[in-house]
Structure 1
Amino acid sequence: MAEMEIPPYFICPITLDIMKDPVTISTGITYDRESIENWIFCLEKTTCPVTKQLLFDTELTPNITLRRLIQSWCVLHASQGVERLPTPKAPISRSQILKLLNDANSPDMQMNCLQRLKSISYQNQTNKRCMETVGTAEFLAFLIVQKTLDLESESKQACEVALSILYNLQLSESGVKSISNQEFIEALSRIMQWGSYESRAYAVMLLDSILEVADPAQTVLSTINPECFSQCIQILKDEISQKATKATLKVLINICQWGRNRIKAVEAGAVNLLIDLLLDYSDKRACEMILVLLDLLCQCAEGRAELLNHSAGLAIVSKKILRVSQVASEKAVKILYSVSRFSATPGVLQDMLQIGVVAKLCLVLQVDCGIKIKERIREMLKLHSRAWRNSSCIPDNLICSYPS
């Protein structure tokens, strides 16, 4: 199709491909439905891609005349291998969704309605936005809460289907806020405990979305059930997927802003697992998040104690300095700073010498790595000058970096 002459008005201005489902937006420009939906709803753009005018109305009007012209053109060129484009399904209406939600209240019709809703949500972004505006998210969240309190197999099945729909809706910020309540968070925690791998991944990614929009003053962040920490740790251990792992790390980072939650995370085994993951992970973003989380956990005595009890704790944190990114280096130095300032027993100071942590700190002072990092390192080295300055563990070419 690319080698033959295609009428320019058949081409989507965004992708430069022939349109399968042409729709016209409020500025009068026609685009392929999938492309303009991605532009408006996924990329959250508020202007017309061609005219740059502000979009006050996101309604997409099917351009039926153009679609028929494109289909006719495809038929005329069938001998050249062009396939006729199928007539796209019309977007779902509000009344159709409301009827499905109402019918889903009936136990006999519930699974069929949920499967229908799932199919509708996968068709296009317009359907998703329509489903959100009529309250589908709130209905599904309520259903999930109820089903997680019932351990019958049929309830679990309905719960997992409802959860998959809710995740696939890709809710707006206001949509996420509409389901942000303690009961739903506890339901997600229960799913993380007994759900399938897929459902556990959906649950933690939805929890991540909720915590991203939560007001820091809300009690939802400070009253997380201790069981939730254990389930987050288990998801990290199971390595369900990269998306699930990163979502779980973000969840833990968000909820560990609260001091009492740091202790809960440490008690669930977070520090030991994070060190083990840091030993294996090469992904830049994952390493950064692990170090951010370790930094939070090392702000409490329990977290520092676990780090020091791990045979590779200090060594792996030190190793990541200058090897991942500026963010990772800052967090790694901050972790070592917390240890040297609040947990610096003679044994710990000796360990930091023996495994090369102090030598690494001196090395960092010789390179361009940021003012904040160097200030913290100088403060550490000065603080423990008596124990470290004249040690034979620091190479001669680095001892000159030791601050006076």
Structure 2
Amino acid sequence: MDYPLDFRCPISMEVMEDPVTIATGMTYERRNIQKWFFAYKKKTCPATMQSVESFDVTPNHTLKRLIIAWQSEKRPGNPLPAVRGSTERREQIVTLLEMLESSPFKVTSLKKLKLIIETDDEAKANFVQSGGIQIVVRIMNQVLEEGSDFSIFRACEEALGVLHQLLLSEEAKILEKLSKPESMKCVAAMLQRGSAEARIHATTILRQMAQSETHWTFVLQDHGIDLFKSLLELVSDEICTRASSYALEVLVEMLSASKKSRVRAIEAGAVCVLVELLPESNRSKSEKILALLKLLCECAEGRLAIVDHGMGIAAVTKKMLHVSSAATKLSVKIVWLIGSFHPSERVLEEMLICGSVKKLLALLHIDGRSSTKEKVIKMFKLHGQSWQRCPCFPNELKGYVGMVNSA
């Protein structure tokens, strides 16, 4: 069931079950806004970014009744309401597009356009045939050039919301229009300073660009560190898991593109964020985080950041076995990079204490040859004697070290 956007919580984008209104007049799912205020310690409205002095919430009974009524109406077996004629709908879309270009009040027209096309495929087709994509992208670029006050940002957010509604059906056209420098400036601005909903839309668009191999990474030149900080904040979002997953995918594409982007990500605090998220992450998220840490460890700054983090090596070690073969391969590569380039006595001892050495020895039992096993063997040939001399090295494992060294 495709719910109207107004029925969705701006934080999670899921339909609301217990809608509540806060001091700014915005409505959210109760548990999401309470987590925003009290777990994340935020003092702003997620949708408008306005400061909030009172954290009191008021149940929105009217909206709740509307959601329940809409759900009842849309259940199988219930007759659908009469649909507005296609000619009338097309004329309404054309009129709104004309108003959008001529009127200074963009937000109202954009909101109406979004409501018309969000659940109607025919309306989407009419919008595209009327040149709606080109007009909305052009408006989005123009209003951002005119200033950066709240009304300007609202217009950009609504424009991005309209394009997001069309992304699945018109992905190629939208990405082509948005891949230009002036349009990417708008997407980056929404990601950095937009509402929670706009940031999700911006991340989704960046993810689609990355998957389609659209050339968009030039945006890093102007928005590097701030862009990474915004993506890392989304990665840490425990409420909207989709946004978190998309942000991770975008980061993987960014860091794979150039070493300069890895340095900027490290400066933005990527290692600290990723290391602290890793221990409690599920399989899919663990693999993405480890892929990012592996890319960061290919830089001296990244390796040093993991070594300096109190739980860096331990967090990676935790994922070395029993998660997936991909996670094991990535974990070994990270530990191998650290052990090869930062083999200080403290680091080697930490690998022993947190269980890295024991898990590396377990990997020696893998049948056949593999790049992962080769790295394990190299690690023991480099540091086996040092580990063996440590008082906390298990006696029963000393024979394995000798076996590796004689291989």
| Cα contact 1:115–1:161 (8 A) shared by 2 | yes
Tell me the CA shift for residue 401 of structure 1: 3.7
Distance 1:128 1:321, change over 3 A: farther
| Cα contact 2:217–2:254 (8 A) shared by 1 | no
Q: Which amino acid aligns with 1:277?
A: L
User: Is 1:357 equivalent to 2:353 in the alignment?
Assistant: no
- CA deviations 1:374-396 (Å, max 9, x no partner) are 22211222222332245454434
Equivalence for 2:268: 268
Aligned residues: 323
- CA deviations 1:9-60 (Å, max 9, x no partner) are xxxxxxxxxxxxxxxxxxxxxxxxxxxxxxxxxxxxxxxxxxxxxxxxxxxx
Equivalence for 1:228: 227
> Which one of the candidate residues 138, 143, 151 is aligned to 1:142?
138
* Aligned partner of residue 366 in structure 1, secondary structure: coil
Q: Which amino acid aligns with 2:153?
A: K
1:116-195 paired onto structure 2 within 5 Å: 116-132=112-128, 134-149=130-145, 150-170=147-167, 171-195=170-194
Equivalence for 1:299: 298
Distance 1:370 1:148, change over 3 A: farther
- CA deviations 1:261-284 (Å, max 9, x no partner) are 000000000000100111232x22
1:5-404 paired onto structure 2 within 5 Å: 83-90=78-85, 97-108=93-104, 110-132=106-128, 134-149=130-145, 150-170=147-167, 171-215=170-214, 219-220=218-219, 225-257=224-256, 258-281=258-281, 283-367=282-366, 371-402=370-401, 403-404=404-405
Q: Which amino acid aligns with 1:144?
A: M
* Aligned partner of residue 102 in structure 2, secondary structure: coil
- CA deviations 1:345-389 (Å, max 9, x no partner) are 233223222322112210222356983322221122222233224
Distance 1:368 1:151 in 2: 61
Tell me the CA shift for residue 108 of structure 1: 4.5
Q: Which amino acid aligns with 1:153?
A: F
Distance 1:386 1:175 in 2: 59
Q: Which amino acid aligns with 1:263?
A: V
Equivalence for 2:67: none
| Cα contact 1:363–1:398 (8 A) shared by 2 | no
Segment drifting more, 167-176 vs 240-249:
167-176
Distance 2:252 2:176 in 1: 19
Q: Which amino acid aligns with 1:123?
A: T
Q: Which amino acid aligns with 1:267?
A: E
Segment drifting more, 91-100 vs 130-139:
91-100
In the alignment, structure 2 segments of 5+ residues that lack a partner are: 1-75
Q: Which amino acid aligns with 2:353?
A: Q
* Aligned partner of residue 261 in structure 2, secondary structure: helix
Segment drifting more, 214-223 vs 157-166:
214-223
Distance 2:132 2:400 in 1: 62
Q: Which amino acid aligns with 1:111?
A: V
* Aligned partner of residue 253 in structure 2, secondary structure: helix
Tell me the CA shift for residue 307 of structure 1: 0.4
Distance 1:112 1:345, change over 3 A: same
Q: Which has the higher helix share?
A: 2
Larger RCO: 1 or 2 (CA < 8 Å, sep 6+): 2
RMSD: 2.8
Distance 2:368 2:127 in 1: 49
Distance 1:315 1:84, change over 3 A: closer
Equivalence for 1:44: none
Tell me the CA shift for residue 238 of structure 1: 4.4
| Cα contact 1:104–1:114 (8 A) shared by 2 | yes
Tell me the CA shift for residue 95 of structure 1: 6.6
- Give the structure with higher Rg (CA): 1
Distance 1:336 1:399, change over 3 A: same
| Cα contact 2:163–2:174 (8 A) shared by 1 | no
Segment drifting more, 380-389 vs 336-345:
380-389
Equivalence for 2:4: none
In the alignment, structure 1 segments of 5+ residues that lack a partner are: 1-80
| Cα contact 2:225–2:267 (8 A) shared by 1 | no
Report sequence identity in percent: 30
* Aligned partner of residue 323 in structure 1, secondary structure: coil
Segment drifting more, 393-402 vs 162-171:
393-402
Distance 1:157 1:88, change over 3 A: same
Distance 1:180 1:217 in 2: 6
Segment drifting more, 233-242 vs 88-97:
88-97
Tell me the CA shift for residue 143 of structure 1: 2.4
